[in-house]
A and B are shown apart, each in its own frame.
Chain A
Amino acid sequence: MRASRGSTPVRSQSKTVYDAIVVGSGASGGWAAKKLSEAGLKVLILEAGRKVPPSEFTEHMPGYQLSYRNFSPELARTRPIQKACYACTEYNYDWFVNDLENPYTTPEDKPFTWQRLRVVGGRSMVWGRQSYRLSDLDFKAASHDGYGDDWPLSYADIAPYYDEVERYVGISGRNEGNPALPDGQFLPPMAMTCGEKLLRKRVSEKLGRTVTIGRTAILTQAHNGRAPCHYCGPCERGCITASYFNSPATTLKDALASGNCDLTANAIVSQIEMDNAENQARGVTYIDRNSRKTYEVKARSIILCAQALESTRILFNSATGEYPDGLANSSGVLGRYLMDHAVGAGASGEMTDFDYKASASDPRRPNGIYIIRFRNLAGGSRHPRFIRGYGFQGGSAPKFNFGAEGFGRSYKEAVKSGLYGIRLGGFGESLARWDNYCEIDPVKKDAWGIPALRVHMTHGPNEHAMMEDAAAAAAEMLEATGARNIVMNSQLAMPGMAIHEVGTARMGKDPKKSVLDSYNQTHDIGNLFVMDGAGFVSSGCQNPTLTMMALAAKSCDHLIERFRRSEV
């Protein structure tokens, strides 16, 4: 679909021609800006949202000091979609987009939830921080089971960049020697609770599966000038000690310190500008979020790191006569193969033999456990009902029993006596399917007049069968651990709810079947890149951010080399 070009006269903001414009300042944008600016390239970061000063961090503010003790009705009014994310609260909802200003559409029978932040740092401000490598079981999944396409790169190509990113970010975790989840460069692991240790032991003994502590981008010792975690709990409200990884405290800080990088906040990129004669991108147009004035900035290369769907939207909205179906979309693949992990299924129960009590003064570990994929492994048996696999996240700890029945003294005592809970939630691979896609909505526009996205996505029979198995497997493992009162859920959450959307500008060797090459460069336009999750060919079942960062780092090294050879 061809987007209409605005008729507002474009006003050039500056004569400067940057080497690179990075659109988006989250996990991948931060890496692109850091790598390129530290290599001496002149970089401009454009971020659609505002800066968040540390004075807005509220991780230590008790709920009773808030107007509505974290039950604010304001979320239902202006963040009816965003509030589905556990991290969107009365403390920080203004970091999430206002849904009234940032609409998207879906067919009635295909609900999709799109969780977004528009602030400097993007979703890295509130991300779940779980950091897992993909393996060749993922990169070469099509060769393994015949479905879909392999990535145009292998684990060996990306492994050094996983190392680089992990060393810089500071991932705490434990090496397990399990080929389905490659080991990494870890800081000391966080401790497990009694329930989790028992789960690890029993599941290993009885079922041969690996329960490990979550590999998380939270420091367990001082690292690169940042202090270790002090276990207050709610990372998503900011961290004054910068103990969890977010781009403003790390990559963006380094980029800005290089002296080669500018950052313009409140700059909503509406489209990429082309030099049609040269078939090169020459810059981008953005709208100032507050004044609504329009600016054009020029660069020798353009790198989209706006988040998979948002980057795809920019490419669609940049359609030209040469690329009528969206920029860099000669293949017709742009927007297709949208993936988001299948989540929602799992099981929970109680460890009734444990008598530890919860206390609000206990340290709060912002991490859980992880169970490494055990279905459809290389050389192992194949499940008859689904391909690919899933992992689990979860935990076991004492908690208060607010749901206790009754009233009076006994209720008060029951709340405090609490329960020792245990729970496992599956994260399943989402298959890349042509009919899961996004396009530009023919009518709807956002508050800045930019055409909005229309998202079409459902989970298919493979995801449903996989999550049913995940629920049963979770119950089996809880049973093996000695849990009681086990309750299962085999229902999938709405697509988008994992907030792991990837795949809408996929990589590939064949320009007719893919948008990007293995260096995140568009096949069609030599100086246009998409370095966020849009390039994923398959989703694996691991949380995607670590891989996005490693791919961005890898592709930036390649781009730096091309600059050195004057190829850009």
Chain B
Amino acid sequence: MKRRELFRRSVLGSLAAAFTSVASGRPALSNPEAREFPSGHDASKELARSDWKPTFLDEHQNRTLTDLGDLIIPKTDTPGAGAAQVNRFIDHLLNAESREIQSQFLDSLAYLDGACRERYGSAFIHIPKKHQVEFLNLIAYPHRLVNWGDNRSEFPGHTHFNNLKDWISRAYYNSEAGMKELGWSGTSFHGSFSGCEHPEGAHR
């Protein structure tokens, strides 16, 4: 049974008969513009295809993003960015994005390679993991360049890191694996919201 139908059955079965008209089936489209999601619609399945290839990123950029994803959100006792195919979603979204946003993303990826080449003599994916982690430690935290006086600027690596991390984090936590990581159980139907049930003055 398809997910929405399953939901309708489980939820609406417990509700008043007044709602059976909704549960009895999907009405025919009354207007061609109606943007309905077909029963069982799941765009993530398309990304999971075995013959998937990047459409926006080239092979090197895709591998860089994949490696970076696994360092930022690694597999622990729960799946990481790799298992969630974060790179595939990002490639798909970038492909549809504005030129400006595409360019910002590529600038950040290019920064990574440029800065690694400068420090380690090679692009990010070609240096040992030890050096990758060492480099990420340099750029992963708020990093001010303060020159005793009032000249103050941000270390550019942090801006690029945050840009890439933001993409990876959004893609991961909005994937099925990422939602489960946050405790999602697959149901949206909650009977009640109990709120604070502590006695007055004991809110801990």
Contact = CB atoms under 8 A, between A and B. Distances in A.
B30 interface: yes
Given A50-B34, A407-B136, A408-B74, A361 B184 contact: yes
13 contacts: A51-B31, A59-B188, A67-B43, A190-B195, A191-B194, A192-B196, A194-B195, A197-B203, A227-B19, A354-B203, A358-B182, A363-B190, A407-B71
Interface of A: 50-56, 58-74, 76, 94, 190-198, 201, 222, 225-227, 230-233, 240-241, 266, 353-355, 358-365, 400, 402, 405-409, 411-412, 415-416
Nearest to B27: A53
A96 to B, nearest CB: 12
Contact of A54 (B22, B179, B187): B22
B37 A360 contact: no
Given A56-B34, A233-B188, A402 B8 contact: no
A192 B204 CA distance: 14
Contact of A191 (B19, B174, B195): B195
Contacts of B175: 64, 69
A194 B171 contact: no
Contact of A65 (B36, B42, B140): B42
A58 B183 CA distance: 20
A225 B18 contact: yes
B126 interface: no
B160 to A, nearest CB: 13
A209 B98 CA distance: 48
A400 B7 CA distance: 26
B142 A194 contact: no
Given A53-B34, A65-B37, A191-B195, 4 more contacts: A64-B44, A359-B183, A363-B193, A406-B140
Chain B interface main SS type: loop
Contacts of A240: 8, 11-12, 19, 22
A69 B175 CA distance: 8
Given A59-B188, A192-B195, A359 B34 contact: no
Contacts of A402: 169, 173
A412 B187 CA distance: 23
Interface string B120-157: 00000000000001001000111000000000000000
B97 interface: yes
A445 B191 CA distance: 48
B97 to A, nearest CB: 5
B140 A400 contact: no
B6 to A, nearest CB: 11
A50 B33 contact: yes
A68 B19 contact: no
A194 B190 contact: no
B72 A411 contact: yes
4 closest cross-chain pairs (CB), A and B:
A191-B195, A363-B190, A359-B183, A360-B184
Given A65-B37, A68-B93, A407 B140 contact: yes
B189 interface: yes
Contacts of A190: 193, 195
Contacts of A406: 140-141
Interface string B15-32: 110110010001101110
B49 interface: no
Contacts of A408: 71-72, 74, 133
A197 B89 contact: no
B117 interface: no
Contacts of B181: 412, 416
Contact of B179 (A50, A64, A226, A266): A64
A201 B200 contact: yes
Contact of A94 (B7, B35, B78, B184): B35
A54 to B, nearest CB: 5
B50 interface: no
Nearest to B202: A194
A231 B190 contact: yes
B41 interface: yes
B93 A409 contact: no
A217 to B, nearest CB: 16
Nearest to B94: A73
A232 B15 contact: no
Contact of A241 (B15, B35, B184): B15
A9 to B, nearest CB: 27
Contacts of A72: 96
Nearest to A72: B96
Given A69-B175, A407-B136, A407-B140, A62 B184 contact: yes
Contact of A222 (B16, B42, B169): B16
A279 B174 CA distance: 59
Contacts of B93: 68-69, 71, 73
Contacts of B19: 227, 240-241
Contacts of B198: 194, 197
B174 A231 contact: no
B72 A407 contact: yes
A105 B71 CA distance: 48
Nearest to B178: A64
Contacts of A198: 203
A55 B93 CA distance: 26
Contact of B193 (A51, A62, A66, A231): A231
B24 to A, nearest CB: 11
B29 to A, nearest CB: 8
B21 to A, nearest CB: 9
Interface in B87-134: 89, 92-93, 96-98, 101, 133
B190 A230 contact: yes
Nearest to B176: A64
Contacts of A71: 93, 170, 174
A191 B34 CA distance: 36
B182 to A, nearest CB: 4
B89 to A, nearest CB: 7
Given A194-B198, A353-B204, A231 B192 contact: yes
Contacts of A55: 26-27, 36
A226 B4 CA distance: 21
Contact of B73 (A51, A226, A412): A412
Contacts of A416: 181-182
Nearest to B42: A65
Contacts of B136: 407
A227 B196 contact: no
B44 A65 contact: yes
A227 B203 contact: no
